[in-house]
Every structure is written in C-alpha cells, then in structure tokens.
C-alpha cells in the first residue's frame, strides 16, 4: 500500500534470495517502450491486470520471438499458458488468438472489486514459475498451444488445446497487420 509495485516486488525478491540480480523498470508498458525492454531477456512472464499491457507484451514477444508465459486469476480460478506463435506460425497461438478483443471496460473483472484469494495467486504463480524453468531449460512439454485452467472451488485442473487464429491481429497468417513479417 502506498508504494510502487516494482519497489515492493524488488524488496520481496531480494529478501527471498539476495543472490538474484534485479533490474527494475519503473514505467508503464506500451507498444513504444516494450521491445527495447524485453530484447535483452530470454523470456517474459506476465501476471498483469489489464488488457492493454497484455496486448503490448504479446505484440512485442511475438515480433521479437520471446516466449510469453501468461498467468491470470479471478476470484477462485486461474489460467495459464505459454505463447510462442513464431515457432509454428498458423498452428501455435499468441495471447491475442485466445482473447481477440478486450471486453468492454464495464464488463472487465477487476481484482480490486471482485477480490482475489491469495492461495489462488500462489497456485498459478508457482505453476507459472515451473513453466519459466521448463522454457529456459528446454525440458518437458511446453504449454504452448494449450491452456491450463484451475478451478479452486472444484479442486480441478483442466488443460485444453488452444489453436492459432488465422485472422489474429497479431500473429494471424491471413492478417494484414501481422507483425511476423517475411
């Protein structure tokens, strides 16, 4: 409360493991600044709370061919996927294939109003960390092309296949605004 998230996160991670080197970026993610920020990193993992930021990260990751691990939570549920559309264009989806258009603002679920259980963010955050490790070490079966859904109240996990959308604005093989180039 009353602090920038980036400062609070930095303190938390430093306390957890002082050997981690942290480079903090205190700014709002946009289409203009994202490519320069992420170009030096091996992958991006996001758990942001708005569609504009997700779309900007998705566009930059697709264009720069960086894996994007995307985690989302709402009340008692969570979802997780890895996006690498550049590895198999037309087959593997990007985030925008999953969510082509942001819902109208008044229909968007807001954590501050809806509430979110810390245990749910714990489950999804830990699963996201596992996917980060897998992508970095190139082990196991990537979540690319699949969406994992967690239902905390039902105590169930489901994994559904997630195809690419040929009309996708970001990675679509039939889209005029494709960032893939070539």
For residues 81 and 70, is the Cβ–Cβ distance under 8 A?
Answer: yes
Min dist CB 112 to Zn ion, Å, is 29
**Residue 168 interacting with Zn ion (CB under 5 A):** yes
**Residue 34 interacting with Zn ion (CB under 5 A):** no
**Residue 170 interacting with Zn ion (CB under 5 A):** yes
Residue nearest to Zn ion (CB): 168
Contact characters 35-74, Zn ion, x per CB under 5 A: ----------------------------------------
Which residues, other chains included, contact 45 with Cβ-Cβ below 8 Å and sequence gap of 6+?
68, 69, 70, 71, 128, 129, 131, 132
Q: What's CA 120's distance to the chain center, in Å? A: 16
How far is residue 71 from each of residues 14, 54, 82, 90, measured CA to CA in Å? 22, 10, 9, 23
**Residue 171 interacting with Zn ion (CB under 5 A):** yes
Q: What angle do CA 34, 39, 44 make, to 5 degrees?
A: 70
**Residue 97 interacting with Zn ion (CB under 5 A):** yes
Among 94, 144, 162, 179, binds Zn ion (CB under 5 A): 94
Nearer residue to Zn ion within complex by CB, 116 or 171: 171
Contact positions toward Zn ion, by CB under 5 A? 94, 96-97, 168, 170-171
């Amino acid at each position: 409360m009353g602090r920038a998230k980036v400062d609070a996160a930095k303190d938390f991670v430093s306390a957890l493991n002082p050997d981690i080197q942290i480079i903090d970026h205190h700014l709002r993610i946009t289409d203009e600044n994202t490519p320069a920020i992420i170009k030096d990193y091996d992958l991006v993992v996001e758990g942001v709370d708005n569609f504009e930021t997700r779309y900007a990260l998705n566009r930059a990751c697709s264009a720069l061919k960086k894996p994007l691990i995307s985690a989302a939570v709402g009340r008692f549920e969570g979802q997780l996927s890895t996006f690498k559309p550049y590895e198999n264009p037309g087959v593997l989806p990007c985030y925008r294939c999953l969510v082509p258009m942001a819902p109208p603002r008044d229909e968007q679920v807001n954590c501050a109003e809806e509430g979110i259980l810390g245990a749910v963010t714990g489950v999804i955050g830990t699963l996201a960390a596992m996917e980060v490790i897998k992508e970095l070490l190139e082990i196991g079966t990537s979540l690319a092309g699949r969406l994992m859904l967690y239902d905390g109240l039902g105590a169930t996990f489901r994994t559904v296949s997630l195809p690419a959308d040929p009309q996708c604005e970001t990675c679509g093989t039939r889209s005029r605004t494709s960032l893939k180039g070539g």
